[in-house]
Amino acid sequence: MEVRRIAGALGAEVLGVDLAADLSGATVAEIRRAFLEHQVIFFRDQALSPAQFMAFARRMGKPVEYPFVKGIEGFPEIIEVKKLERERHNFGGIWHSDTAYLAEPPMGSMLLAREVPAAGGDTEFASQTLAYESLSEGMRRLLDPLVAVNSSAKADVTRTREDRVKEQGGETKSYVAEHPVVRTHPETGRKALYVNLAHTVSFKDMSEEESAPLLQYLFCHQVRSEFTCRFGWRVGSLAFWDNRCTQHNPINDYHGQRRVMHRITLAGDKPR
């Protein structure tokens, strides 16, 4: 097994591993170390059935159901993330951390490419530990005690999932959760920014208007190019990202083409 970095900030490809195989405990531990070190890891040419995809996910964490989209037949924890030729919006097409509006947001997510466009459809990732660590000491002191209010009903992200929600009968519930603006990773101990453009609406005990200037600064700062990597998909590519310290953005540059992915979400804990 070889781990090869793809950018200076975060991200690495893991080579020489067949995820359909019965992985040894040592291999699982090595993959987990790479995940924690690089924050997002990528595998190529993984011809996984849904059952094999689920088996690998269970070696890494506890798969859970996504709140807005039903799972594929026989696998409620595997959702189909797709954009069809006629559609203009892509699923989750905005910089975000997954489901920050839940009381216990995911530890991580896995995405497996089933169909990809001839060109386009890459995904960007951004390290929120680097985003936090690059702030001035004064800004870190200001942010450390703050709490953010996150909502699933924020307009921009609602548009990015509306096709899938309509397809399955409509959205029935909105979620709101309060989390630290700066969270401490429970495994590495590193601090990371934990606000995002898609879900964060304000700071606790402040109005949206009062919160907006600082939030807008953070939304721009936390996805600066030097904090990012970019991954180009092929059929059989798999990405596994740490939702506690990264954000991601699926680029919507393939109108008229089809892109179909399978995603598994892994249970997390309450940010602290």
270, 64 contact by CB (below 8 A): no
For residue 204, the number of C-alpha atoms closer than 13 Å in the C-beta half-sphere is 11
Query: What stretches of 22-86 show up as alpha helix (H) in DSSP?
Result: 25-38, 50-60
| Residue pair 220/196 in contact by the 8 Å Cβ criterion | no
Catalytic residue among 38, 98, 185, 244: 98
Instruction: Tell me whether residue 263 is one of the annotated catalytic residues.
Output: yes
Question: Which position among 38, 96, 185, 244 bears the catalytic label?
Answer: 96
Q: Is 96 a catalytic residue?
A: yes
Catalytic hit among 161, 164, 183, 263: 263
The single residue of 179, 183, 248, 259 carrying the catalytic annotation is: 248
Query: What whole-number distance in Å separates Cα of residue 183 and Cα of residue 190?
Result: 8
Give yes or no: 122 in active site: no
Our answer to whether residue 248 is catalytic in this structure is: yes
Burial 172-190 (b: 16+ CB within 10 A, else e): eeebebebbbbbebeeeeb
Cβ proximity of 53 and 78 under 8 Å: yes
Active centre residues (catalytic)? 96, 98, 248, 263
